[in-house]
Structures are given as C-alpha cells and as structure tokens.
Amino acid sequence: MTLYPLFADLRDRTVLVVGGGEVAARKVAALLRAGARARVGATSFIPQLRELRAAHAIECLDGEYRSDWLDDCWLVIAATDDHELNRRVANDAAERRMFCNVVDDAQQSSFQVPAVVDRAPLIVAISSGGAAPMLARWVRERLEILLDHSIGAMASLLERQRPAIRARHGDVGARRRFYERLLASRVWQWLRADNTAGAQREIESLLQTTDEPRGSVALVGAGPGDPGLLTLRGLRALNEADVILHDRLVGAAVLELARRDALRIEVGKEAGVHHATQEQIHALMLEHARAGRRIVRLKGGDPFVFGRGGEELEFLRAHDIAYEVVPGITAALACAAYAGVPLTHRDHAQSVRFVTAHCKQSLDTLDWRALAAERQTLAIYMGVAQLGTLQARLITHGRDAQTPFALIENGSTAQQRVITGSLAALEALAREHDVRAPALLIVGEVASLATTLAWFGSAPLGAGALARAA
C-alpha cells in the first residue's frame, strides 16, 4: 500500500484552489459539497466561478499567485495548466507542511483526490495513486451499478441505532453477528420502498430477539498461494471469522483478505518443526467455539487432500461443534495448471494419483508396483526431503528412468520455479537448483509438456543439467 487512505472532515475549513478554469471549478464543487470554505485564486475566472463569487459561496483572490494565499488553509489544490506555477504551489505547501494535490501530476502531489461513489453517509473512494486514474474511474462506474442507493439510508439508520445496538450487545462478537442478521433481513426492502419507519420497526424487532452465541468451525481451503484462487465462499468465511487458525504455508496475501480485527493464530506444521501439534489445534478450536466464536481453520490447498481435515471434523463432531467445509484448490491441480502440465491427457495419461511423501513411514505403506505403472500421472506432495528415495523406488519397481518429471516450487506464486528433466536426473537436478519446500513433484509423460505449455512465471529450468546427465 503506497498511500494511506483517509477521509478528511473539511467542514468550515479553508481549502485553496489555484486556478480559474473548468478543472478548478470541478474541484470547487466537490469541496463545497463537503462543506469546505473554498478560496480560489487566479488571474481570470470562468462564469461558473464568477457566479459562485457573486453568491458569496466562495472567496476569490484576483491576480498572480502569491504564497500568502496559503495562509489559514488546511489543504491546497493546484489546478492550472501552468506546470511551473503548479510546482511553486506544491513547494510552498510542502514548506508549510500542508498537503497539496496537483491535478494530473502524481509526482508533485502529497495527496490524491480519489474517484468517489457517494452513498452519503457511506462514501467509497477509489485511488490508483495517480498511476491510472482512468482505471479508478472504471472501477467507480462498476461500483455505481453494484451499490444500491438504499445503502446510504441504511448507513444513516444504523448511525441512529448504534447506541441501542451497543447497549443490547456489549460483546463485540455478538454485536457483529447481530449486524449480519440485520443486513440479511427485510430492512433493505423497507428502505428500497422509502419506508424508514418500517425499517426502524424491523430493527427494533431484531433487537428483542434473544439467542445464545454458538461457536462454529469452517475448514477452509486457501489454495496453493495465489489469493485469486481462494473461492468466494472461502472469502466470505474469512470475513465472518472471529478467529483464524492458519497453516504456515497460507500466504500473507490470502490473510490480507480476512477481516482486520480477526484473531490470527499460526498453527503451521512443517517437516521437523511443529509450531502446534494436532492436539493443540483441536484444543484451540474447542476453546474458541465454546466461547461462541466463529473459527476458520485455514489450510493451504484443500482441507481433505493431505490436510488432516477428516481428523479435525471427527474431533468437532465428537464435541458437538457445528462445522462446515469450504473446499480449496489443491496444490496438484493449481501447481500443474500454473506450470502448463495437464494431469491427464488422452495421449499420455488416463489416470492421476495423489501421493504424500511426508516421511519415510508413509513411503513404506505405498504400493510401489502400482505407482510405477505407465500411462498415469503421479502428483507427489511433501516430497522434497525424499526425492532420492522416490526416484530409486519408482525405477526399481519398473518406471522407466527416462520418464519426465516436473518439480514445481512455490507453485502459483510470484516465486514459482519449475524444474524439468528425466526421473534418472531428479535428485541431481533438485540439488543443483537448490529446491526447497513447498514443492510438488509430478511424474509422468505429461510433465514433458511443461517445456512447451508453460505460461506463468519464468521458463522451466533443468534442460542443461538433463543434457549433461544424458
């Protein structure tokens, strides 16, 4: 975030606009709507500004710009077509530690004027930081369509009802749940019909409703890293959560989508390092659910694909805790797609197997003869520490040593790397490129397509080392 967003109360505060043309007039109109005292300085003024002057709606300063025009001002807007003059205004404002906006010049500006969707008292402001103002306007146009005008009436009604709501629901969590019930109620229908009295009665009825807070847990799949792959239902769950218990591999970009005041607790586990045992995770879910909170157990990938989601649901069911599951895009699907590797292909693979290589004990339980069969794709999770063993066992049980592989590190993120080669060179290539977890291993003929179908991030690595190994 390169700009700190804020909304300024300019009522009865003086704001200087330097310029007397159409751009200046637009800025003055917006300032007057916000209740500011507009001071306008220029050598000449368009009729619109002269009319405002005659009506004593604005103060006009005639002549060439002087720095004393800034006296007693809170903000400054330079709205002339003279770049040198705009620069002088910005410099004078900076010397006085005043914020200045130079129209269409982000470099000279210390604040930006956003595109606005006005549903007063609710205001939505959109800014590109001056980088792409047309894009900000494009977003505003779409929000104008999406945001019903009754939202403003709702905001005013909630402002009046806020003391009663706070008195009825002292606990923050209970108050949030009440607002959610209210915003899903018939209040909207009354407001759209311009019936404020009906909306008021609806809120008063809701305030009389008594219900004990009941905690719940949502197991949510966060996907492999790209926040754009989080499902809409997962996003809603994050915005409803009081507590988020998240894995280590859930990226910061995904957590940024959650409600700001939610309690975040990292409960990640990785090979050899356990921030929280599974029993401790169970205890945390039980503690917060019994306190009436809504918990999101946020897992990388999908909760039911090597995510121990089944164990957690069994625990919740045994303790009579309400739960739901929000599937996520599992790593095999996302990493393969972002690497250009189709997991199945009519010419190469008619089936796909998901395998975990989390530890040696799990490797010992696998049917290696079946895994080594041809015309199938293996998607192997958590295998970075076992690559040598995986390579040896597959070849020993009949998989061709020249079978292609694709090793995808940090799949779907800006740090994605794809290493390709033959199964015989797997361990050597991984060592050469210093592959680290998290990484997904794909073994099968489809992996060769990564070299031609790759579309995301850098081109696959490994061809040079593969040639040397051959």
Backbone angles phi, psi at 156, to 5 degrees: -65, -40
Please state, in angstroms and rounded to a whole number, the distance separating the CA atoms of residues 25 and 105: 18
Kindly name the residue from 92, 226, 247, 302 that is annotated as catalytic: 247
Q: Which CATH architecture has domain 216-329?
A: 3-Layer(aba) Sandwich (3.40)
| CA–CA dist 433, 274 (Å, integer) | 27
Q: Pseudo-torsion of CA 282, 285, 291, 294, nearest 10°? A: -160
pLDDT at site 354: 96
Contacts of 258 (CB under 8 A, 6+ apart): 238, 239, 241, 244, 264, 296
Domain residue spans in the chain? 1-113, 150-208, 216-329, 332-469
pLDDT at res. 356: 92
- Integer Cα distance of 463 and 457 in angstroms: 17
What superfamily in CATH does domain 332-469 come from? Tetrapyrrole methylase, C-terminal domain (3.30.950.10)
Q: pLDDT (tens digit, 0 to 9) for every residue of the chain, 470 residues total?
A: 788 889 999 999 999 999 999 999 999 999 999 999 999 999 999 999 999 999 999 999 999 999 999 999 999 999 999 999 999 999 999 999 999 999 989 899 999 989 899 998 999 999 988 888 899 999 999 888 878 889 999 999 999 999 999 999 888 878 888 898 888 788 988 898 899 999 999 999 999 876 666 789 999 999 998 999 999 889 988 988 889 999 988 988 999 999 888 999 999 765 445 557 899 999 999 999 998 888 999 999 999 999 999 999 999 999 999 899 999 999 999 999 999 999 999 999 999 999 998 766 778 889 999 999 999 999 999 999 999 999 999 999 999 999 999 999 999 999 999 999 999 999 999 999 999 999 999 999 999 999 999 999 999 998 443 433 34
pTM for the model: 0.65
Given the residues 269, 320, 347, 360, the one annotated as active site: 269
What Rg, from alpha-carbon coordinates, does the chain have? 30
Q: What is the C-alpha separation between 77 and 82, in angstroms, rounded?
A: 13
Question: 132 with 112: CB under 8 angstroms?
Answer: no
11: buried, middle or exposed (CB in 10 Å: 19+, 13-18, 0-12)? Answer: exposed
Q: What is the pLDDT of residue 363?
A: 82
* Topology adopted by domain 1-113: Rossmann fold (3.40.50)
Two structure tokens written together for 25: 């007039």
The token pair at 113 is 């004027």
pLDDT of 176: 84
Q: What is the 3-state secondary structure (H, E, C) of the chain?
A: CCCCCCCCCCCCCEEEEECCCHHHHHHHHHHHHCCCEEEEEECCCCHHHHHHHHCCCCEEEECCCCHHHHCCCCEEEECCCCHHHHHHHHHHHHHCCCEEEECCCCCCCCCCCCEEEEECCEEEEECCCCCCHHHHHHHHHHHHHHCCCHHHHHHHHHHHHHHHHHHHCCCHHHHHHHHHHHHCCCHHHHHHCCCHHHHHHHHHHHHHCCCCCCCEEEEEECECCCHHHCCHHHHHHHHHCCEEEECCCCCHHHHCCCCCCCEEEECCEECCEECCCHHHHHHHHHHHHHCCCEEEEEECECCCCCCCHHHHHHHHHHCCCEEEEECCCCHHHHHHHHCCCCCCECCCECCEEEEECCCHHHHHCCCHHHHCCCCCEEEEECCHHHHHHHHHHHHHCCCCCCCEEEEEECCCCCCCEEEEEEHHHHHHHHHHCCCCCCEEEEECHHHHHHHHHCCCCCCCECHHHHHHHC
Instruction: Give dist(CA 300, CA 24) in Å, integer.
Output: 51
Between CA 320 and CA 152 the distance in angstroms is 41
247 is catalytic: yes
Residue-level pLDDT at 213: 60
Which pLDDT value is given to residue 464?
Answer: 44
Is 360 in the active site? no
